[in-house]
Amino acid sequence: MTESTIKLTIEEQSAILMHGAQFGDGQIEETMRQGLCERLTEARMAGRPLRVYCGYDPTAPDIHLGHTVTMRKLRQFQDLGHHVIFLIGTFTGLVGDPSDKDRARPQRTAEALGENARTYTQQAFRILDREKTEVRYNADWLARLTFEDVIGLASHFTVQQFLARDNFSERHRKGDPIWLHEFYYALMQAYDAVALRADVQLGATEQLFNLLAGRRLQEAHGHTPQICLTFPILVGTDGVLRMSKSTGNYVGIDEPPDIKYGKTMSIPDSAMRNWFELVTRWKPDQIESLLTGVADGRVHPMEVKKRLAWEIVSIFDGDEAANLAAERFARVHQRRETPRDMPTYVLTVPTNVVEIIQAVGFTQSKSEARRLVQQGAVKLDGESVETVEAQAIPGGEQVLQVGKRRFLRLVAGVEP
């Protein structure tokens, strides 16, 4: 236990750690609040930290702002001296969590999950303390379970318990298919708690069933059941759907500052409270003051969004990067000027525009670049690129614009 942890009372620690948690059930909330105080007291008396974890399925290569809601809470546990486990779902990701879905998720391959997992470990340390974080992969224990083991896990739950969940009950009512493998996800996530001997597990609000299932399996294995803390979902840049790479409404924490800033500026006014509360460092009174100012007309929503965009860039890239991103946004999107410090690409021969976009990293694949061209999102010297076969011809200086926020200076060069 750290000196800073010991100086705080159990009640003060509990208040910090419970802040922002939502359960949708007053009795469950009170049970978890009391349980956390008891667990903190036991840990202090034993002179040991709590074992705290949250799992993240690497179904895409990017950690986005939605992931950071629980990651920032993990960091609070670290700062209070507790042991944090960053769990990567290299096995649960094969199924995908159906908790927030009205249809089955597409299944991933182990190879794709493994590749994405490598990017997760690096990005996670933009929030978590590298020296104080244990990284684990749940394939290490889930892949070793026998069919007999799985039957044993399933014996602790009924089909009715699963069908009572909102997403499954709605699909059942509509007659939409509910695949048997989707039930396994909750069992796998529950067993993670057993394997890690967790004191506390964090998750999103729609995962409460899975976290409570972990408590049940822990009890069945003779362990003290974990404390479950669930947190609200961050809506994406569309302001409606949960932030997700698959729906394209995300802000990746590793994206350039300009992209983070620009995407944040695109969110609808209705999403501001959700983002203020979940991804900023602002205190509740600051948030209420800003929202009240917008509501009574004293502050324009765009000015508040600028503060939000600056805050997000500052968290991940620093104040200087946030200042530069704000200045570039004003120049390009408000004054309609091209940025002065755009990257440069040297053209030695006529080159396909799609190849250029992919080569400089504006997209991860040529197919994605082709889609942008087909959607009219690519311009060359202010003119829309009409076809995926279009080429940029060497000669003078040209500007290639991809979407609203990516610019590339094309200059003629000579073959080496």
Predicted local confidence at residue 166, as pLDDT: 65
* Domain boundaries, position 282: 257-334
The DSSP-derived string for 199-237 is SEEEEEGGGHHHHHHHHHHHHHTTPPPPEEEEEPPPB-T
210 and 296 co-located in one domain: no
**Residues of the chain above pLDDT 90, percent:** 54
Q: Give yes or no for a contact between 319 and 327, defined as CB atoms under 8 angstroms apart.
A: no
318 and 350 co-located in one domain: no
Is residue 414 pLDDT above 70, yes or no? Answer: no
- If residue 319 lies in a helix (H) or strand (E), which one and from where to where? helix 319-329
pLDDT digits (tens, 9 = 90+) for 380-410: 877 788 888 888 887 666 788 888 778 888 8
320 and 352 co-located in one domain: no
171 and 192 co-located in one domain: yes
Q: Kindly state the average pLDDT of the residues 171-198.
A: 88
Predicted local confidence at residue 415, as pLDDT: 46
273 and 202 co-located in one domain: no
Is residue 104 pLDDT above 50, yes or no? Answer: no
Q: Kindly state the average pLDDT of the residues 40-50.
A: 95
Q: Give yes or no for a contact between 398 and 345, defined as CB atoms under 8 angstroms apart.
A: no
pLDDT band of residue 340 (cuts 50, 70, 90) is low
Crossing angle for the helix pair 65-79 and 10-18, to the nearest 10 degrees:
170
Determine the Cα–Cα distance for residues 55 and 201; give it in Å rounded to an integer.
9
Predicted local confidence at residue 107, as pLDDT: 62
Predicted local confidence at residue 181, as pLDDT: 80
pLDDT digits (tens, 9 = 90+) for 18-43: 999 999 889 999 999 999 999 999 99
272 and 219 co-located in one domain: no
Candidate from 46-55, 96-105, 356-365, 405-414 with smallest mean pLDDT: 96-105
Predicted local confidence at residue 102, as pLDDT: 45
Q: What is the CATH number of the domain that holds 280?
A: 1.10.240.10
Using the 3D structure, point to which of 334, 361, 379 is the last residue of a domain: 334
Residue 241 domain-assigned (yes or no): no
Is residue 76 pLDDT above 80, yes or no? Answer: yes
Predicted local confidence at residue 335, as pLDDT: 57
Is residue 99 pLDDT above 60, yes or no? Answer: no
Task: Report the number of distinct structural domains present in the chain.
Answer: 3
Is residue 5 pLDDT above 80, yes or no? Answer: no
13 and 149 co-located in one domain: yes
Residue 237 domain-assigned (yes or no): no
pLDDT digits (tens, 9 = 90+) for 289-333: 999 999 998 989 899 999 999 999 999 999 999 999 999 888 876
175 and 285 co-located in one domain: no
223 and 370 co-located in one domain: no
Residue 19 domain-assigned (yes or no): yes
Q: What is the CATH number of the domain that holds 382?
A: 3.10.290.10
Determine the Cα–Cα distance for residues 62 and 318; give it in Å rounded to an integer.
20
Residue 57 domain-assigned (yes or no): yes
395 and 322 co-located in one domain: no
171 and 309 co-located in one domain: no
Joined tokens for residue 27: 């009795």
Predicted local confidence at residue 109, as pLDDT: 74
Chain mean pLDDT for the chain: 87
pLDDT digits (tens, 9 = 90+) for 214-244: 999 999 999 999 999 999 999 999 999 999 8
Q: Kindly state the average pLDDT of the residues 7-19.
A: 92
